[in-house]
Structure 1
Amino acid sequence: MHIEKKELIKKYNIPARPGKDGYYRIYVKDPTKKGGRKQLFGKTLEELESKLYAFEKGVTGSARHTFAEVYELFLEDKLKYVKAEEKRVSRQNTINKNRSDYKRYFAGTEFEQKYIDSISKNDVEGIMFFNLERYTMRDKAMSSLKGILRSTFNFAYEQYWIADNLYTRMNFNKFNGMLEQNVSNDKRVHSEFDLKRILRAIHEHQEEKPCYMPAYALEMQILIGCRRGELAPLRRSDVLPEGIWISREQISVKKFNNVPEHWKIVDHTKTYKDRLFPLTDSLREFLTRLYAVLDRYYPNSPYLFPDSTELGVINNNTVYRLYYRICKQLGIKISREEIKGTHSFRRNAITDVVNATGGNVILASQLFGNSPAVAAKNYYTGVDTGTALTALNKRKFS
């Protein structure tokens, strides 16, 4: 690094003496600035040289960049163009997840230290093979790995750091034989029998400790198939005559710089799709019971699921922990491979709606806040064979 730093800054005429204000100053080319240049300054020559080096290693600098550096610059650029604070919080969470994925696949490898303009097709195939050999990977993990490569090479190409974007010429299909088969959606949901057992256990919790709000939140998640983060921010004012208005979510803001991890309610859902969930008969009955509890224990709270937290509501983790305890108590296995969890209730709900409406995936996606493609691929667990059999028996062949 020391040799590289000397090479990068030797093209500049470093001032021998500071200005009248005691600072050493120099101008560098910067096409992002109106005049095409900007000033760097430092109290000492060492500080100025460090700033020059950082500039040269940045997006507008002329230094060669390693794969690791390009990906980090891409992530910084990704956040740069998000202005609204709430969107920045969500974007920062996404970036933290991106960094975690990067660490899993690339940290400590020779590949990440290669200069982006020297990486060959064989290098990319090598890092793919290396990860597929050491990890059990399915389509989702493969997409994550490819996504990092795609983003890095695309960004380098946009910045003119590479003359050819070799990612676009890669044949990733050759690795399909190394992937584990995806777990089918029908194995990622609870059976109707287990759902009823879970509901009975929830009702027992409510009877034993009526002021424990996670038990009501878990029941509501089963009834309306919402995301866990969409439960906590719900207010009484969100319950309308025609349905429940879902437009916010509670997110866990991961630790970043000196800011500790914390919960935050944002005015958008995960997919930025506000939606109205109709008041079904079972939901009306549930709300009647819930309001009685709220009036007795939390008469001054505007929320459906209040708690004595900083935000005044339960947090997402308490709902999952209750679900986990109930499953353990009932002997219901929660398999990491099949990834059940509370999110599986969305699959139950989406499948029920799709089958009951003759395959109307668009309606289901509108009710549950997914695109039709995502609802069909990740949530729909299959046809109701009983209904299908009835339809098939109506066919006449004589």
Structure 2
Amino acid sequence: MANKPKINATAKGHEYFRVRALVGYDCTGKHIYKNFYGSSKSDAEKMKNDYLKDLQDGLNPDLTSQSLSQAMHTWLWDIEKFSGIKSSSFERYESIYRNYIKDSKLGLLVVSEIKKLPVQKYYNSLIDTGKSESQVKNLHKLLNKFFKYAETEGYILKNPLVGLKLPKDNEEDIEEDDCVVETFTNEEINKIIENIGNVKLRYIILFALLTGCRQGEILALQKSDIKDDIVKINKSVRKVKLFDDEKTYEHEMKVTKPKTKSSNREVPLTAKLKNELKRLEKLVAEEKLKLGPEYTNNNLLFPSITGTHIDAKNLRRSWERALDNAGIPRKKFHALRHTYATRLFENGTSILTVSRLLGHSSTRTTEIYTHVLEDIKAKEVECLDKILKEGL
């Protein structure tokens, strides 16, 4: 049921037409009407009819008229934020939305009108401007999650991302720094250690070098994670944003589970590393005694001087100073993990063993060390010559 068109006057004196449609009833049984306005009677009637058709088709027309940017903002802050996801995950979602959707051309499109082609073109443009395949893949995951929600809630009839082709991404371990492998020579490592003195960074460096663990995994370790000369890797720590609203947030250290099952692993400790950890224990005991009751005992293997988790930014600064003092060109802390893997390969360790020690989800990820693997393969095939007798 709808009322007859009615002429109304705007504040500027222009006339427009208004029609109403019955769209439902409230909890008391009272009629709920929705107004539609147009510059002519036919315009107003068309708006009303389009709205009623969308309702009949199962769409929510009040939402489908929103842009992707508007609709995703509402979903992110009013729905997803309170869905029980980890704060680190929400921080990642918010960053992806802010950098790739909020002010983008794709974000301006009306949700209900988005098809595969404009999304595919947007992905391609990101690649063309230098974004990595992993970045596009993470954007796609978030968009797909939103469109699944939108489909369920009646924003759209069908998820437009179904069947969309993504750029190939053969690298499963994003932390391996886009396949750029930086390593240290033995001489460089010894020079760093000799110049650093008896400070906590010394033991963190040695632990990374002799176990291949990631920085976040090392800083999350507790003393109880080491047993029978084996260290169990089952968590990581990082600083995340805890949002109160879009503009208000605070940082907090969060311990989380590793991103993949394969990251949960056991790594044996070398004899030298075990001795170094004994020296570390004495250093930590001195710090604890010095601070007294103000010390926070978290049973961490590598605590800050107050007993809390070491901030990654502070560690990076100390690491860079250590390289500068030793006269070594700056490389990322992650280069210690690459050095660990490279030395194992150079000493004949199989790719499967190295893959498991690093916590890679497959040996394909470990193949970033091809510069070492190719040399090893060339040497190993020489054993085939022994099949033939001398003189042949």
TM over 0.5: yes
**CA 1:126–1:278 in structure 2 vs 1: closer, same or farther (change >3 Å)?**
closer
SS at match of 1:371: coil
- In the aligned structure 1, how far is the partner of 2:356 from the partner of 2:96? 30
1:260 is displaced (CA, Å) by: 1.4
TM-score by length of 1: 0.66
Determine the structure 1 residue equivalent to 2:46. Answer: none
For residue 103 of structure 1, report the CA deviation from its aligned partner. 2.1
Q: Distance in 1 between matches of 2:99 and 2:320?
A: 27
Identity %: 19
Which residue, out of 181, 187, 190, partners 1:188? Answer: 181
Distance 2:210 2:329 in 1: 21
Letter in 2 for 1:161: Y
Contact 2:61–2:155 (CA under 8 A) maintained in structure 1: no
Aligned 8 A contact 1:8 1:63 in 2: no
Matched, 1:387 2:382: no
Shift of residue 351, structure 1, vs aligned partner: 4.2
Aligned equivalents of 2:328 and 2:220: distance in 1? 29
Specify the alignment match of 2:68 in structure 1: 67
Instruction: Give 1:345's match in structure 2, choosing from 319, 328, 336.
Output: 336
1:146 counterpart = 2:140:
yes
Flag the structure with higher strand content: 2
Contact 2:204 2:302 in 1 (8 A): yes
- Does the CA contact (< 8 Å) of 2:63 and 2:71 recur in 1? no
The partner residue of 2:277 within 282, 287, 295 is 287
> Aligned ranges for residues 1-398 of structure 1 at < 5 Å?
11=23, 63-64=63-64, 65-72=66-73, 75=76, 81-82=83-84, 88=85, 91-133=86-128, 135-172=129-166, 185=179, 187-193=180-186, 196-206=187-197, 210=198, 212-257=199-244, 258-266=248-256, 268-271=257-260, 273-298=263-288, 302-309=299-306, 312-330=308-326, 332-334=328-330, 341-353=332-344, 356=347, 359-361=350-352, 363-372=353-362, 375-376=365-366, 380-396=369-385, 398=392
Distance 2:381 2:166 in 1: 41
Deviates more, 1:281-290 or 1:350-359: 350-359
Matches of 2:178 and 2:269 in 1, distance apart?
A: 31
Deviation at 1:111, TM superposition (A): 2.4
Deviation of 1:100 (Å): 1.4
Distance in 1, Cα, partners of 2:121 & 2:305: 52
Can you list the C-alpha shifts for 1:20-61, whole angstroms capped at 9, x where unaligned? xxxxx9999xxxxxxxxxxxxxxxxxxxxxxxxxxx9xx999
Change (3 A) 1:286 1:114: same
SS in structure 2 at match of 1:232: helix
Aligned residues: 325
Unaligned runs of at least 5 residues, structure 1 = 1-5, 20-24, 29-55, 83-87, 175-181, 335-339
Q: Deviations over 1:96-126 (max 9, x none)?
A: 2222123222222342132222123442244
Q: Segments of 4+ in structure 1 off by > 6 A?
A: 6-10, 25-28
Q: Distance in 2 between matches of 1:61 and 1:315?
A: 48
Q: How far has the Cα of 1:247 moved from its partner? A: 2.9
Are the counterparts in 2 of residues 214 and 318 from structure 1 also a CA contact under 8 Å? no
Q: 1:270 to 1:390 in 2, by over 3 A?
A: same
Secondary structure of residue in 2 paired with 1:100 = helix
After superposition, give the CA deviation of every residue in 1:373-398 in whole Å (9 maximum; x if it has no partner).
Answer: 57426x54543455333322222264
Task: Structure 2: give runs of 5+ residues left out of the alignment.
Answer: 1-17, 33-54, 169-175
Structure 2 length-normalised TM: 0.67
CA distance in structure 1 between the partners assigned to 2:302 and 2:177 by the alignment:
34
Taking only aligned residues, the RMSD between alpha carbons, in angstroms, comes to: 4.1
Give the deviation of 1:128 after TM superposition: 3.2
Alpha-carbon distance, 1:278 to partner? 0.8
Q: 1:129 to 1:294 in 2, by over 3 A?
A: closer
Following the alignment from structure 1 to structure 2, what is the Cα–Cα distance between the partners of residues 223 and 26?
A: 73
Verify the 8 A CA contact 1:198 1:327 in the aligned structure 2: no
Query: Contact 1:351–1:381 at 8 Å: present in 2 too?
Result: no
Closer/same/farther in 2, CA of residues 143 and 63 from structure 1, 3 Å limit: closer
The answer as to whether partners of 1:233 and 1:248 remain within 8 angstroms in 2 is: yes
When residues 170 and 291 of structure 1 are mapped into structure 2, their CA distance, relative to the original with a 3 A threshold, is: closer
Which of the pair has more CA radius of gyration? Answer: 2
Task: Letter of the 1:63 partner, please give it.
Answer: L
Is the CA contact (8 Å cut-off) linking 1:224 and 1:277 kept in structure 2?
yes
Corresponding letter in the other structure for 1:147: K
Aligned partners of 1:8 and 1:232: how far apart in 2? 63
- Classify 1:184/1:109 alpha carbon distance in 2 versus 1 (closer, same or farther; 3 Å): closer
Find the aligned partners of 1:236 and 1:218 in 2 and give their Cα distance.
Answer: 17
Q: CA deviation at 1:252?
A: 0.8
Conserved in 2, the CA contact under 8 Å of 1:66 and 1:116?
yes
Residue 50 of structure 1 aligns with which residue?
none
SS in 2 for 1:254: strand
Change (3 A) 1:26 1:297: farther
Kindly indicate whether the alpha-carbon contact (under 8 Å) linking 1:215 and 1:322 is maintained by their aligned counterparts in 2: no
| 1:202/1:215 contact within 8 Å kept | yes
Aligned to 1:52: none
